[in-house]
Structure 1
């Protein structure tokens, strides 16, 4: 004779229709779909406004992508497009070179307008304070006074906009130093290891001191470091010292930033090229304040294959964002974010978007905390196919929207992604960390 089922008594007390499984035993179930909301535990889906402003032609020409992409004239429309996409987070760079007009003197005319509108629209900025350039009066990244001047600027920004919590003090420190002082393309346009090390230590120190100033005004600040996730693969047996060093140097900015001792050969490289023991010890004394996030920017062109004959070719997705970022996570053990990606072919962009997203899902399955994803940028860019080295005016069709503010195919793909995944939490069960009077909702593990 079969044993009585407990459901007989459950049904008798509660009624079959009113009770299904654990309805009264926990949070109401939800799958995490729907456009993003402002819940603090939710994954951050973002885009960005391209805002690079290095100088070229030995300082005579300023490349200002906010101007060249018409953002100064159409900023209200651009912020409206962010809202239209259903996005809540925006990587946004104020034009440092134009705001900090002299020591302790600032022009907030444009910044106040756009920041006030962002606040009104409830868009959360990840505020980028330096993006590949400095004011003319500072000169370039060889200036040892840069860290002090930049820290003053960061303090002024944090004081003026106290509602801002997320910051990228310096965008891509490594790329800034490499393009300006090792490859001779921007700003000081030098081509030496010594100039590179000088730029790297000045810019990293600027980021550290700026973070201290931000934290003084906003102790709970979240610092999203944005670094280029790069790798050169050697397709031959005998590894070259040059490439071995190059693949280690890509970590240098974050090593100095996070007080992580680099390998002995990189330490000797620093000492051979102008870093003093005292400077090194200053960097290694400890990490800067704030909640630190390691943001990795990954473009297919970031990976290259070097052949025996010296030829180098672009090789997208040999490792991809997942494997390269895993190196950074294993090295620094900090939450990660996919802070930039795009392709220059608008027809290929939707496929690239989904590939990056699947990399993120794989990273989450490993238990690595991934805070967010960014399609960079909102609007098509100009001359990034040649690294802004010349003012040609070629439009790079990599934005969610074109220069006329009409959607590219990737906008539809991103909207579909947002509608499916937009309310997932950063980590499974992340909603239990929220203190709220809203009804509880337990989201599935994605």
Structure 2
């Protein structure tokens, strides 16, 4: 493996998935609070009410991060901890204090904080008033982004506006598997995606104006990615073509439906009605990519996985080559420095008789994927960082606590943290 000396090695989390303290210290209700308290929506009717109790245990967690040796921690801020109703006149001081404590603790321990503004937990009050179809929500997001930037930009350099707009719209408003659990017509879902793009663009402009120093702004995208079966020109060209094409049945799960608009100022096949697209692309400093798997492609098209193909506990296919070719294709198209903001492995982890958590499958997965990422850098792709998803096991959305992605095992009955074998492996990788 070959990585630059200044490469960013980190781990990632999101507020609802780890913090808990869902109704403490003035926090308002988010759509995920509501969704999880609706019977039948989440595996075993589990909630993020306590989650990993990061709200109370953040100092212990950051101490573990220091032992891990990461240089950066990507986390999201809970919008309703700052503005309980979404757009209150005065921010919640307790919420700001928590994130002040978290940021300061990171810096004290030599860890660079990377803030994500919106990782899906929309204030319920805004959803009740039209959600992302309402100008109120767009304006509220800009107000929230501006406040966070003003408050933290003296200490924080990296900000992401939105995490996975494709999943927000696809699973929250089309299939209904995620909060707020709606199944709306395609045209309406596209309006919501359009609103997310407008909110992102307006927030970027507002943050540039109010920042206390030069900051770096981006967002995290996800979607279909392909990789070639061989190094032949024909296979590579077909893989690139199919990466940036989609079908009507799954048109929301593609990078270009959002990235073309907010980076290139262009529409694609499915959002040509966005007549303001040239106003949606203020300059960005990086593009975050959340990559877990992809499709193998030959010159004849997608290659079907064979019987017994390697899969994760979530039954996602294991396709390491996508962490090479995905960044290569995305960098060629968008010309922005790339940060892998999520990549990881859901494993059936458990505590062994020796009291430890041995996750050889995760180590094998990470070795294969990170080796492929090194190849992308060798090929000239400007990849500047990698964030493992996730730091600890956590609340995995509609799957509840059924899936474990962490480098640190959480015993949910006691809250005890147990670093897994992969924790030590990743630590050695970073130091090496």
Q: 1:66: Cα distance to partner?
A: 8.4
| 2:65 is equivalent to residue 82 of structure 1 | yes
1:148 to 134, 139, 145: 139
Corresponding position of 1:46:
10
Corresponding position of 1:347:
360
Q: 1:409: Cα distance to partner?
A: 1.5
1:123 to 111, 115, 124: 111
Corresponding position of 2:208:
215
- TM-score normalised by length of structure 2: 0.74
Task: Give the Cα–Cα distance (whole angstroms) in 2 for the partners of residues 42 and 57 of structure 1.
Answer: 39
Corresponding position of 1:28:
none
Query: Deviation string for 1:237-280 (max 9, x for gaps)?
Result: xx9973686388432111221134234x3244xx3xxxxxxxx3
1:284 to 278, 284, 293: 278
Is contact 1:303-1:316 (8 Å) kept?
no
Does the residue aligned with 2:360 lie in a helix, a strand or coil?
coil
1:168 to 160, 170, 173: 160
User: Relative contact order: is structure 1 or structure 2 higher (C-alpha 8 Å, sep ≥ 6)?
Assistant: 1
Query: Deviation string for 1:362-400 (max 9, x for gaps)?
Result: 111111111001111111123x3xxx2265x42x23211
Q: 1:327: Cα distance to partner?
A: 2.2
1:322 to 307, 320, 324: 324
| 2:258 is equivalent to residue 253 of structure 1 | yes
Q: 1:44: Cα distance to partner?
A: 0.6
Task: Give the Cα–Cα distance (whole angstroms) in 2 for the partners of residues 137 and 209 of structure 1.
Answer: 21
1:262 to 264, 267, 288: 267
Task: Give the Cα–Cα distance (whole angstroms) in 1 for the partners of residues 262 and 378 of structure 2.
Answer: 28
Corresponding position of 1:418:
430
Q: 1:220: Cα distance to partner?
A: 2.1
Does the residue aligned with 1:266 lie in a helix, a strand or coil?
coil
Question: What is the aligned residue count?
Answer: 356
Q: CA RMSD in A?
A: 3.2
Is contact 1:44-1:373 (8 Å) kept?
yes
- TM-score normalised by length of structure 1: 0.71
Distance 1:171 1:64, change over 3 A: farther
| 2:324 is equivalent to residue 332 of structure 1 | no
Corresponding position of 1:7:
none
Q: 1:232: Cα distance to partner?
A: 8.0
Distance 1:92 1:319, change over 3 A: same
Task: Give the Cα–Cα distance (whole angstroms) in 2 for the partners of residues 119 and 104 of structure 1.
Answer: 30
Distance 1:226 1:146, change over 3 A: same
| 2:71 is equivalent to residue 107 of structure 1 | no
Does the residue aligned with 2:270 lie in a helix, a strand or coil?
helix
1:409 to 409, 418, 421: 421
Q: 1:152: Cα distance to partner?
A: 0.6
Task: Give the Cα–Cα distance (whole angstroms) in 2 for the partners of residues 79 and 318 of structure 1.
Answer: 29
Unmatched 5+ stretches in structure 1? 1-30, 234-238, 272-279, 308-312, 421-446
Distance 1:32 1:333, change over 3 A: closer
Query: Deviation string for 1:300-345 (max 9, x for gaps)?
Result: 3x659797xxxxx843317512222222112111111111111111
